[in-house]
Amino acid sequence: MKRRNRSFPRSVFSEIFGSFEAIIPRPLCEAFLNLCMRYGFVYYGLRFEEDERYVRVTMPESERKRVLTACRMWQIRIRVVSRHGLPQRVRSLKGRWGLLAGAALSLLIYFTAQSVIWRVDVMGNDRLSAEYVRDILAEQGLCVGAKIREINKDSVEQRIMIERDDISWISIGIEGTVARVEIRETLDTDTSEKETKPANLVSRFDAQIVGMEVYSGFLSVKEGDFVRAGELLVSGIYKTEKAPLRFTRASGRILGRVEQSFTVEIPLVQAKKVLKNEKITKKTLIFFGKPIKLFTNYGNLPPTCDIINYLYTFDPFSLGELPIALSVEEYRPYEIRDIEISEDEAIEQAHAKLREIIDGALPDARILKKSVQGEFVDGKYVLKCELTAICDIAKQVELDVID
């Protein structure tokens, strides 16, 4: 069997590397062919034009400049009439950087898509947030953008279980370009120990007892008694026939009538933050977990400013977020100025602050009587409140038991 040597198709070669067509006056055709032989220029498709006044020839794009330079030296008139192939198509995109950037990004995503992690899913977490778990995984090299072949799942699992006290078990599986991580959280032993630690109930305020609901422990007071702040209400220590001393965690609600005084002062001249009419923005493209700064000349940042962070993710087809995000960091400068407020504003602020204080000191209290007086004194508004209320006065105080 004869084996034929087949050359690379000229049309494919011309398409990839480019070609150009030129015309030469017929009388100069012989001089042009001699020039090609002298310099080793490659040409093909030599043919006459319809009027036979010119000869048309096709040559590789890579030799165009050399051919034109040689023809000028030997005074051979030649004119390029067309250029073809991939180089010419790329050249036509010059100045259209959006298309070039999009094409380059598409190629980069295509070639890296199957070799890196696109998403990290976290399952089994309750107290721990998914972002917290992802940060722990990132410290061990498992994150969006990590190369799949470089991830040692067994090693990552072992290091996390050894180093982390809040994760008792972890399993990592990689399906395609998605890492699926399942964890088991360590039981909160502090909470369980605290719930069983012996404690007494003592009074938070000076009060008169008006009602009692004891769930555990032994009462030390009765309804109608007057108690001081810190006085024992329900004991967590008791005796039995078998044991001289036993402990429990006293619990319950002890209702008492309390009388409280509150004072609020609001100055008429206040230091306030005033935003300036300018902002500085930093933009960073996060591509497969790798930050790429889009702008690097930020100038000097102001000494006092608010920093606001935005993160824009991409989910164009509602099939899940792509591993591409835009991080925007805004710096909004401000200055501190002394601003005088009106009397009405001072009164409004004082009453709002008083409500906040009462809600914090006497939550779920039933107000029986309330007296409020306010006046402007020495450049400030002073608001005084006297009230009588019924509330739960008991608080737990844990006991230190030494075995």
pTM here is 0.53
Q: How far is 169 from 162, CA to CA, in rounded Å?
A: 10
Using pLDDT thresholds of 50, 70 and 90, give the confidence band for residue 35.
very high
* Per-residue model confidence (pLDDT) at position 4: 44
For the stretch 182-241, pLDDT in tens is: 999 987 655 555 567 899 999 999 999 999 999 988 899 999 999 999 999 999 887 766
Taking the CA atoms of residue 351, residue 355, residue 356 and residue 358 in that order, the dihedral angle to the nearest 10 degrees is 130
Q: Which residue has the higher pLDDT, 91 or 219?
A: 219
Please answer whether residues 220 and 200 qualify as being in contact, where contact means their C-beta atoms are separated by less than 8 angstroms: no
* Per-residue model confidence (pLDDT) at position 5: 42
Asked whether residue 93 carries a pLDDT value surpassing 70, the answer given is no
* Per-residue model confidence (pLDDT) at position 394: 94
* Phi, psi dihedrals of residue 269, rounded to the nearest 5°: -110, 120
Fold of the CATH domain 119-185: Ubiquitin-like (UB roll) (3.10.20)
Q: How far is 259 from 368, CA to CA, in rounded Å?
A: 10
Cα–Cα distances (Å) from 228 to 45, 164, 209, 250, 253, in that order, read 112, 46, 11, 19, 17
Read off the pLDDT of each residue in 244-272 and give the average, rounded to a whole number.
Answer: 91
* Per-residue model confidence (pLDDT) at position 92: 66
Q: How far is 118 from 3, CA to CA, in rounded Å?
A: 49
Beta strands at 269-275 and 324-340: parallel, antiparallel or unpaired: antiparallel
* Per-residue model confidence (pLDDT) at position 109: 65
Cα–Cα distances (Å) from 327 to 20, 129, 289, 294, 308, in that order, read 47, 21, 12, 10, 11
Longest dimension (CA), the chain: 133
For the domain 10-90, what is the CATH code? 3.30.70.1360
* Per-residue model confidence (pLDDT) at position 195: 63
Q: How far is 145 from 179, CA to CA, in rounded Å?
A: 11
Percentage of the residues of the chain whose pLDDT score is greater than 70: 85
* Per-residue model confidence (pLDDT) at position 367: 93
Lowest-pLDDT range of 15-29, 147-161, 218-232, 276-290: 276-290
Q: How far is 150 from 140, CA to CA, in rounded Å?
A: 11
Domain boundaries, the chain: 10-90, 119-185, 196-268+341-403, 271-338
Using pLDDT thresholds of 50, 70 and 90, give the confidence band for residue 144.
confident
Lowest-pLDDT range of 172-186, 253-267, 293-307: 293-307
Strands (DSSP E) contained in 19-154 are 19-25, 44-48, 54-60, 79-84, 119-123
Asked whether residue 88 carries a pLDDT value surpassing 90, the answer given is no
Asked whether residue 12 carries a pLDDT value surpassing 70, the answer given is no
